[in-house]
Structure 1
Amino acid sequence: MFRFLIVCICVIGYLILSIPILIVEWIVGKFNKRAKDISSLRIIQTVFKFVLKVTGAKITIIGHENVPTNQAVLYIGNHRSFFDILLTYTLCPDLTGYIAKKEMEPIPLLSTWMRYLHCLFLDRQDIKAGMKTILTAIDKVKSGISICIFPEGTRNKGENELEMLPFHEGSFKIATKAGCPIIPIAISNSAEIFEAHFPKIKPCKVVVEYGAPIYPDQLEKEDKKHLGAYTQKVILEMLEKNHDLV
């Protein structure tokens, strides 16, 4: 429980104490939007790294060199833990917005920081609103901002992390319409940080592997037609390969 309490204090304390930082960032953004965006990115990455350190998790990173640094990408990952966001966001080399559930939008301060970081809120119950979010994500990528989405649609709470929920194919329109590569991310054992023994946070081994970029226009016709299933298969192969590392 001690680690859980420390993480809660860190997160809540930061959100409250960061109000002056939000104001400063807003002012900086009026004069130099890029500077404000990068500053916000690095600030939150530092906070996330500290929180991960508190958890005691031993994190192994594989294949991060596969992430292009000269263009925006669509990150696609499996999702079993709240900590998946921290694990991956600390490794983003440049501006990256996450697609989050609509229910997070009303949360004070947190949603403000999320907007600063180009995150988008997806209404999973409203198809029309959901499509609008996808179109906004496409525009983000075209403007040079990467997007990360967990296309299972929610955290997979099954006992076996190799049995993923089906990937929603609509998410992959971001890559096909924006003409960007897909970076598959396989996150192994992240549920052992917290969800597997809620409410305790326990040290554990976690592996985060970045696969080779997937270029949709270079795939076979059938694979391109079922891009979600194809990407999920790539992630599953990485999860199976890394199973013995955790």
Structure 2
Amino acid sequence: MIRTVIWVIYLALYLIYSLPTLCKVKRLEPSLTVAERDKLSSELPKRWARSLVKLAGAEVTVERMENVPSEGAVLFVSNHQGDFDIPLLLGYIDKPKGFISKEEVRKVPIVGWWMTVINCVFMQRKDRRQSLQAIDEGAKLLRNGHSLVVFPEGTRSKGNEMGRFKAGSFRLALQSNVPIVPVSINGSYKLFEEKRLIQPGAVEIKVGKPIYHREYKDMDEKELATLVRNIIKDQQMKE
């Protein structure tokens, strides 16, 4: 309980501390390249995310970071065990990225502002038309050089079992032709969802080999969803 209270207080104070930097990031020179802008915009969120994970007492292991392409945009596709998945991927995958997120997060003061700055896309899951528009927006960001993360399960599994992947999420790749990087997360649910309190735990992140457009261009959404889900599941099972 004490750890949870300290964590929440730290979160609030860090968000307030971040406001001057947020203002600077919003005024970045338009002459900067996409890569330069994304790098500068993501520096503080990355430090913030890592500090939140460490304060929770997590021991994080990341395997095969060399599989992340250093140049150009990619679509990270990950399973979704818990609320800590976003700070884990934001802090420990060394490439600037935004997220496909639920619309409600946009309304959180300061957090929503930062998510907009790092090119997150907000989706209303119960509104099919808006969801399709969000996918189109995300595909446009990818084509313009901004990397994104999507959780195709659509919600947290809150455990080791992985849910069904929603095929529509893979339109992001099929409409942008960027590499897909499968990511598996093991143990993140133990940091909060297991007891509804923040507590220490071991988390393992495994980065799979990128799947390039030439490898998936002839697949439809369902075939691609099945392929990537199987890769992530296999990564989870391998020690």
- TM-score, normalised to structure 2's length? 0.92
| Counterpart mapping for 1:223-238 below 5 A | 225-238=222-235
**Which position in structure 1 is the counterpart of 2:94?**
93
Q: From the superposition, tell whether residues 36 and 176 of structure 1 become closer, same or farther in structure 2 (CA, over 3 Å).
A: closer
**CA distance in 2 between partners of 1:91 and 1:3 (Å):** 22
Q: From the superposition, tell whether residues 146 and 37 of structure 1 become closer, same or farther in structure 2 (CA, over 3 Å).
A: closer
Q: Which runs of 4+ in 1 moved over 6 A?
A: none
Number of residues of Structure 1 aligned to a counterpart in Structure 2: 238
8 Å contact 2:50–2:92 — kept in the other structure? Answer: no
AA aligned to 1:20 is P
| Counterpart mapping for 1:22-41 below 5 A | 22-29=22-29, 32=32, 35-41=36-42
AA aligned to 2:27 is I
1:90 alignment partner, SS class? helix
State yes or no: 1:191 paired with 2:206: no
Cα offset, 1:217, TM superposition: 3.3
| Counterpart mapping for 1:71-150 below 5 A | 71-150=72-151
8 Å contact 2:65–2:93 — kept in the other structure? Answer: no
AA aligned to 1:237 is D
8 Å contact 1:223–1:230 — kept in the other structure? Answer: no
Aligned Cα root-mean-square deviation (Å): 2.0
Cα offset, 1:20, TM superposition: 2.3
**Which position in structure 1 is the counterpart of 2:9?**
9
**1:148-197, Cα deviation, whole Å (9 max, x unpaired):** 0101001113x5x1x31110111111112211111111100111111101
Cα offset, 1:226, TM superposition: 1.3
**Which position in structure 2 is the counterpart of 1:181?**
179
- TM-score, normalised to structure 1's length? 0.89
- Note the residue ranges of structure 1 that are not aligned, 5 or more in a row: none
| Counterpart mapping for 1:150-229 below 5 A | 150-157=151-158, 159=159, 161=160, 163-199=161-197, 201-219=198-216, 225-229=222-226
Cα offset, 1:64, TM superposition: 0.9
Percentage of identical aligned residues: 32
Q: From the superposition, tell whether residues 216 and 26 of structure 1 become closer, same or farther in structure 2 (CA, over 3 Å).
A: closer
**CA distance in 2 between partners of 1:30 and 1:182 (Å):** 28
AA aligned to 1:139 is K
2:126 alignment partner, SS class? coil
Cα offset, 1:224, TM superposition: 6.7
AA aligned to 1:17 is Y
Q: From the superposition, tell whether residues 220 and 138 of structure 1 become closer, same or farther in structure 2 (CA, over 3 Å).
A: closer
State yes or no: 1:68 paired with 2:65: no
**CA distance in 1 between partners of 2:215 and 2:32 (Å):** 37
- Note the residue ranges of structure 2 that are not aligned, 5 or more in a row: none
**CA distance in 1 between partners of 2:212 and 2:134 (Å):** 22
Cα offset, 1:104, TM superposition: 1.2
2:194 alignment partner, SS class? helix
**CA distance in 2 between partners of 1:55 and 1:139 (Å):** 35
AA aligned to 2:207 is Y
